[in-house]
């Protein structure tokens, strides 16, 4: 079983700025923890970060026939992108939406996600550990 982990714009900056909101863990730390959890679960993960909406869409499309599920933190595109939602609907595989912060406790414009309605699960507010929790949940759902 393979899970594609997608991180969107500005998440490459994790651990370097705004630690009061996003914590001090870097994206490399998160990806290392995901790899360790995947090994324990007996699955593989492929982690991709991009600042470009079109690249996220390309990677979602390429997941068809290659991955079994997707974990996605689309960053600010989560609040705006119908194109990413359409791509996720097109590949028709279970996905978990992750956010480091509790988007519902933030500014009004962050309280809506275009991706949430189609998600198998949405996990927000636990910071970096949320990714591994999402991986465990998605793998369990795929195995059920």
Which residues form the catalytic set?
22, 99
38 within 8 A of 102, measured Cβ to Cβ: no
Compare residues 18 and 40 and give the one whose CB is closer to ligand CA2. Answer: 18
Binding flag, residue 18, ligand CA2 (CB under 6 A): yes
110 interacts with ligand CA2 by CB under 6 A? yes
Nearer to ligand CA2, 1 or 48 (CB): 48
Residue 11 sits in the site that holds ligand CA2 (CB under 6 A): yes
Cα gap 19→1, rounded to integer Å? 34
Q: Does 22 contact ligand CA2 by CB under 6 A?
A: yes
- What torsion do the CA atoms of 81, 98, 47, 38 make, to the nearest 10 degrees? -150
Minimum distance, C-beta of residue 90 to ligand CA2, in the bound complex (Å): 22
**Interface with ligand CA2 (CB under 6 A), residue from 67, 100, 132, 134:** 100
State the Cα–Cα distance between residues 103 and 20, nearest whole angstrom. Answer: 14
Query: Interface with ligand CA2 includes 51 (CB under 6 A)?
Result: no
Alpha helices by DSSP H, the chain: 19-22, 27-41, 53-62, 82-91, 129-143
* 10 in Cβ contact with 72 (< 8 Å): no
34 binds ligand CA2 (CB under 6 A): no
**How far apart are CB 11 and ligand CA2 at their closest, in Å?**
5
Whether the Cβ atoms of residue 78 and residue 99 lie closer than 8 Å to each other: yes
Q: Name the residues that contact ligand CA2, by CB under 6 A.
A: 10-11, 13-14, 17-18, 22, 73, 75-76, 78, 99-101, 103, 110
């Amino acid at each position: 079983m393979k899970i594609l982990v997608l991180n969107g714009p500005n998440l490459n900056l994790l651990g370097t700025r705004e630690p009061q909101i996003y914590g001090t863990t870097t994206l490399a730390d998160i990806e290392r923890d995901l790899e360790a959890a995947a090994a324990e679960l007996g699955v593989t993960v492929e982690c991709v970060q991009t600042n470009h909406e079109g690249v996220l869409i390309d990677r979602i499309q390429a997941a068809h026939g290659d991955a079994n599920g997707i974990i996605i933190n689309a960053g600010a595109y989560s609040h705006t992108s119908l194109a990413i939602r359409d791509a996720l609907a097109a590949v028709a595989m279970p996905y978990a939406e992750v956010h480091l912060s509790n988007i519902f406790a933030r500014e009004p414009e962050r309280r809506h996600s275009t991706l949430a309605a189609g998600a198998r699960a949405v996990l927000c507010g636990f910071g970096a550990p949320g990714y591994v929790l999402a991986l465990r949940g998605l793998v369990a759902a795929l195995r059920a």
